[in-house]
């Protein structure tokens, strides 16, 4: 929230393997729930920090080349990840219950597909992105915050005018 009472979105990066859920599928579906996050730090960010309208860099991991494919936005704030309580789900957690859901998900919807994907190597090669969490050694979180400066740099690299968002 800015000092003028106007909501300013935060920025995030969310990783998905294209063979599990690619950006193109999000565009086709119109929205999805972001389930299966089983890291407490990522869960806490989704539960405590992700807000309606926050913008997301949609990152394809475990792919050659790994890359950012587009922009999504948070369309529903954190709520219990029901896959944790579904014994038929690959994300089932025996310790999750309606009283203690343990895991959280958010909903996202597509905003824009990049004109040109932005590869991880391009991000690493761009000195403006040196401090970005994505390129730090050992940083493997599937959900991570992104500084506004880095978000705008990635938009530029992907051929997207921030005013179009």
User: Which sequence spans correspond to the domains of the chain?
Assistant: 11-157
Q: What pLDDT, on the 0 to 100 scale, is given for residue 4?
A: 58
Q: What pLDDT, on the 0 to 100 scale, is given for residue 6?
A: 62
Instruction: Give this prediction's pTM.
Output: 0.92
Q: Which CATH architecture has domain 11-157?
A: Roll (3.10)
DSSP string, 117-153: EEEHHHHHH-GGGTT-GGGSTT---SEEEE-HHHHHH
146: β partners: 11
3-state secondary structure of 20: coil
Q: Which of 29, 22, 16, 98 is nearest to 61 (CA)?
A: 16
Q: What pLDDT, on the 0 to 100 scale, is given for residue 2?
A: 46
Which residues make Cβ contacts (< 8 Å) with residue 84, sequence separation at least 6? 91, 92, 93, 96, 101, 102, 103
Residues of the chain with pLDDT under 70: 1-7
Could you tell me the end-to-end alpha-carbon distance of the chain, in angstroms, rounded to an integer?
18
Q: What pLDDT, on the 0 to 100 scale, is given for residue 137?
A: 86
Q: What pLDDT, on the 0 to 100 scale, is given for residue 119?
A: 97
């Amino acid at each position: 929230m800015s000092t003028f009472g106007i909501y300013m979105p935060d920025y995030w990066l969310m990783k998905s393997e294209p063979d599990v859920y690619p950006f193109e599928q999000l565009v086709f579906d119109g929205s999805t729930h972001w389930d299966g996050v089983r890291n407490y730090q990522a869960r806490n960010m989704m539960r405590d920090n992700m807000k309606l309208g926050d913008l997301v860099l949609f990152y394809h991991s475990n792919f050659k080349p790994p890359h950012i494919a587009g922009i999504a936005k948070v369309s529903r704030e954190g709520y219990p990840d029901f896959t944790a309580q579904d014994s038929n789900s690959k994300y089932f957690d025996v310790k999750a219950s309606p009283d203690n859901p343990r895991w959280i998900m958010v909903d996202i919807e597509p905003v824009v597909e990049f004109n040109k994907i932005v590869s991880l190597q391009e991000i690493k090669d761009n000195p403006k992105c040196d401090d970005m969490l994505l390129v730090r050694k050992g940083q493997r979180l599937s959900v991570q915050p992104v500084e506004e400066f880095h978000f705008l740099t990635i938009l530029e690299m992907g051929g997207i005018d921030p005013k179009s968002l």
